[in-house]
Amino acid sequence: MASKAMPRAPPAAPNIQSLKLCSQNDSSLETTSPSKRSALVPGRSAESSKPNSEVQKEQKSTQHQNESVDLTGSNDPAEVKAEGNLVPKRLADEEKGVVEDGIANGSLKSSSALGKEHGIASASGSARLVGRSETGERGFSSSRCRPSTSSDVSDESACSSISSVTKPHKANDSRWEAIQMIRTRDGILGLSHFKLLKKLGCGDIGSVYLSELSGTKSYFAMKVMDKASLASRKKLLRAQTEKEILQCLDHPFLPTLYTHFETDKFSCLVMEFCPGGDLHTLRQRQRGKYFPEQAVKFYVAEILLAMEYLHMLGIIYRDLKPENVLVREDGHIMLSDFDLSLRCAVSPTLIRSSNPDAEALRKNNQAYCVQPACVEPSCMIQPSCATPPTCFGPRFFSKSKKDRKPKPEVVNQVSPWPELIAEPSDARSMSFVGTHEYLAPEIIKGEGHGSAVDWWTFGIFLYELLFGKTPFKGSGNRATLFNVIGQPLRFPEYPVVSFSARDLIRGLLVKEPQQRLGCKRGATEIKQHPFFEGVNWALIRCASPPEVPRPVEIERPPKQPVSTSEPAAAPSDAAQKSSDSYLEFDFF
Ligand SMILES: Nc1ncnc2c1ncn2[C@@H]1O[C@H](COP(=O)(O)OP(=O)(O)OP(=O)(O)O)[C@@H](O)[C@H]1O
């Protein structure tokens, strides 16, 4: 049954034919990190989150010491409305192990208490966590996108209109055509049209499956979420946040959401499949477990563009770490996992244009499509901007040597390139969200945080890729948090890393967010740092990546279900029980 691997396709339209059938345990397909660190998320409880013991085991074996919790923030609509009433519930969650060795089982009073205690006052006895309110973080009705209540499958077209028209960067992608073909033929697209071939991994709100749109040889990553489980664990808003963010993205380094639909029990997101695994896994495979500096420059430059685009849309990502950076078929990266992101208002501003024509256009408000996020709860972001915000405007072409200035400050003063600030600098959140080793000091201190947290995590990310470890990691999560706040930044002697790389890290890992590089002018500021000298921002998506994943071979699993740890718990969905079934869910 295995088909031959074909030559790799050009980046814009990955060649689906190159996917060959492979065995279920082919490591080349395994994208779950061996020692994955989880993010701190609202109300995560290792015990309560997964009804399936198999999944619990799987998660435990893959989790790093950093557990995922949100001590105070809420993503649940009910919590947003009635924050005060929910503190006890959160504390209960924390006591159940949400923050385990991080905070809840320690003597910490609150995340803000940590800041006060460290170097300011000594850690005190028994702990209680205090609730904090959100500003800038908006709740919204989860009923905006009408779920199916009576049928097994419901096409997403009932509640949204994702298409290549709203994602012009992906217009030539053959997967759109495959989806459109089925939709035209059957009028509706649902779970029954997909074969689930392999479980790629599972997260806090769902499991991700490699799936094929039957009869099309088009492959996707399908995230399947159990609606009842989401509701009982108050994760509906997180799932909704992720879906709404995915719907509006159209960027080479961010995921494409091809479609989404619901069954009675499940909510499914159909996304681009990344066969190269994640950067955390890839780093582990490097000699010395760190990347060469040139490779790092490539990866972080692509992340920087993705981050800039997100900030332009009013999205603060908040969970950057190598585990969330997937490697696409062509070796370029894709930043994934948006359920912890914060959405807020932003007014991108063109502050300078060197081009008189552009300047004239700007004065007429036509220079760039700089789209602020809509702050209506039901429309946080407008997905269908006729001219989507672009990261590939003229200002990003690399400069000739003679134009380059050695110091960023000088560059800022004389740069001939137009400058756009797309930083949601007024956003404020009080949530305790992120991954321990990546948490910014202001989050730990509970001072409220904004987009600068993304530049802090960007600095940690850069450090980890270069040195193979994060800078503030302690013996446990609690020690890590103390280190983040109080320990000065140090660099190991080995591996040898350039001065400019260390200088950039120093600029990003400034503990005071207002002094942090990127805080005032966002990605524009960071791009001008000498570390990125020579990067052609406009064409980086066409540059050769450091490593291209081997062509994936996909072996069609036997007709019998292959992974059913608890058959009785498998979904009753007719689609997946048909004779066409390839894989039954083992998540629920
Ligand atoms: N588009 C994709 N292509 C390939 N593998 C993917 C894709 N998306 C996710 N995965 C794999 O599935 C796993 C689970 O992804 P998911 O986003 O649900 O979980 P997560 O990253 O742990 O996030 P969360 O905690 O928010 O649920 C990931 O770790 C990754 O290995």
Residue from 476, 479, 458 nearest 531 by CA: 458
State which residues form the domain around 226.
Answer: 170-273
Please tell me whether residues 265 and 287 are part of one structural domain: no
Is 422 part of a structural domain of the chain? yes
Within 13 A of 531's CA, how many CA atoms are on the CB side?
30
Measured in Å, residue 208 CA sits from the centre of ligand 1 at 6
Is the C-beta atom of 204 inside 6 A of ligand 1? Answer: yes
Measured in Å, residue 520 CA sits from the centre of ligand 1 at 32
Pocket test for ligand 1, best of 208, 223, 242, 433 (most atoms within 8 A of CB): 208
Angle at 153 (CA atoms; ends 147, 159), nearest 5 degrees: 40
Please tell me whether residues 319 and 263 are part of one structural domain: no
Pocket test for ligand 1, best of 37, 196, 200 (most atoms within 8 A of CB): 200
Among the atoms of ligand 1, which is closest to the Cα of residue 337? 17
- Which positions ≥6 away from 52 have C-beta within 8 Å? 565, 566, 569, 586, 587, 588
- Which positions ≥6 away from 257 have C-beta within 8 Å? 162, 243, 246, 247, 249, 269, 270, 271
Mean pLDDT over 104-120 rounds to 33
Q: With b meaning 16 or more CB within 10 Å and e meaning fewer, what string describes 386-396?
A: eebbbbbbebb
Residue from 310, 528, 541 nearest 419 by CA: 528
Q: State how far the Cα of 66 lies from the Cα of 477, in Å rounded to an integer.
A: 6
Among the atoms of ligand 1, which is closest to the Cα of residue 275? 4
Identify the pLDDT of residue 88: 25
Q: Which amino acid is at 78?
A: A
Of 256, 273, 290, the last residue of a domain is 273
Residue from 186, 208, 206 nearest 197 by CA: 208
Asked if ipTM goes beyond 0.95, one says yes
Please tell me whether residues 264 and 291 are part of one structural domain: no
Please tell me whether residues 338 and 266 are part of one structural domain: no
Look at residue 84 and tell me whether its pLDDT is greater than 60.
no
Is the C-beta atom of 31 inside 6 A of ligand 1? Answer: yes
Please tell me whether residues 255 and 225 are part of one structural domain: yes
Residue 91: other Cβ atoms inside 10 A: 19
Q: Token pair of 465, please?
A: 């890729």
Please tell me whether residues 345 and 231 are part of one structural domain: no
Is 452 part of a structural domain of the chain? yes
Is 493 part of a structural domain of the chain? yes
Q: State how far the Cα of 555 lies from the Cα of 198, in Å rounded to an integer.
A: 9
Q: Kind of pairing, strands 333-335 and 325-327?
A: antiparallel
Residue from 401, 330, 393, 412 nearest 537 by CA: 393
Pocket test for ligand 1, best of 222, 329, 337, 554 (most atoms within 8 A of CB): 337
Is the C-beta atom of 223 inside 6 A of ligand 1? Answer: yes
Mean pLDDT over 406-431 rounds to 53
Instruction: For residue range 20-40, list pLDDT tens digits in order.
Output: 322 333 333 333 344 567 776
CATH code for the domain of 467? 1.10.510.10
Q: State how far the Cα of 305 lies from the Cα of 283, in Å rounded to an integer.
A: 21
Alpha helices by DSSP H, listed for 490-537, are: 499-508, 522-527
Please tell me whether residues 433 and 540 are part of one structural domain: yes
Is the C-beta atom of 336 inside 6 A of ligand 1? Answer: yes
Is the C-beta atom of 32 inside 6 A of ligand 1? Answer: yes
Model confidence band, residue 7 (pLDDT cutoffs 50, 70, 90): very low
Instruction: For residue range 232-291, list pLDDT tens digits in order.
Output: 999 999 999 999 999 999 999 999 999 999 999 999 999 999 999 999 999 999 999 999
Mean pLDDT over 92-101 rounds to 28
Contact 134, 42 (CB under 8 A): no
Can you name the residues that pair with 201 across neighbouring β-strands? 208
Measured in Å, residue 206 CA sits from the centre of ligand 1 at 9
Domain count, the chain: 2
Identify the pLDDT of residue 422: 66
Residue percentage of the chain with pLDDT more than 90 = 44
Q: State how far the Cα of 393 lies from the Cα of 419, in Å rounded to an integer.
A: 10
CA 247 to chain centre: 14
CATH code for the domain of 203? 3.30.200.20
Is 520 part of a structural domain of the chain? yes
Is 398 part of a structural domain of the chain? no
Measured in Å, residue 92 CA sits from the centre of ligand 1 at 27
Among the atoms of ligand 1, which is closest to the Cα of residue 271? 1
Please tell me whether residues 214 and 289 are part of one structural domain: no
Measured in Å, residue 224 CA sits from the centre of ligand 1 at 11
Model confidence band, residue 124 (pLDDT cutoffs 50, 70, 90): very low
Is 247 part of a structural domain of the chain? yes
Atom 29 (ligand 1) nearest CA: 32
Please tell me whether residues 324 and 176 are part of one structural domain: no
Q: With b meaning 16 or more CB within 10 Å and e meaning fewer, what string describes 105-118?
A: bbebbbbbbbbbbb
Please tell me whether residues 508 and 431 are part of one structural domain: yes
Is 268 part of a structural domain of the chain? yes
Is the C-beta atom of 208 inside 6 A of ligand 1? Answer: yes
Of 273, 288, 313, the last residue of a domain is 273
- Which positions ≥6 away from 310 have C-beta within 8 Å? 254, 316, 317, 341, 454
Identify the pLDDT of residue 130: 22
Among the atoms of ligand 1, which is closest to the Cα of residue 274? 3
Is 27 part of a structural domain of the chain? no
Of 238, 255, 273, the last residue of a domain is 273
Please tell me whether residues 178 and 262 are part of one structural domain: yes
Measured in Å, residue 201 CA sits from the centre of ligand 1 at 6
Residue 314: other Cβ atoms inside 10 A: 26
Identify the pLDDT of residue 557: 59
> Would you please indicate which residues are annotated as catalytic (active-site) residues?
319
Please tell me whether residues 317 and 447 are part of one structural domain: yes
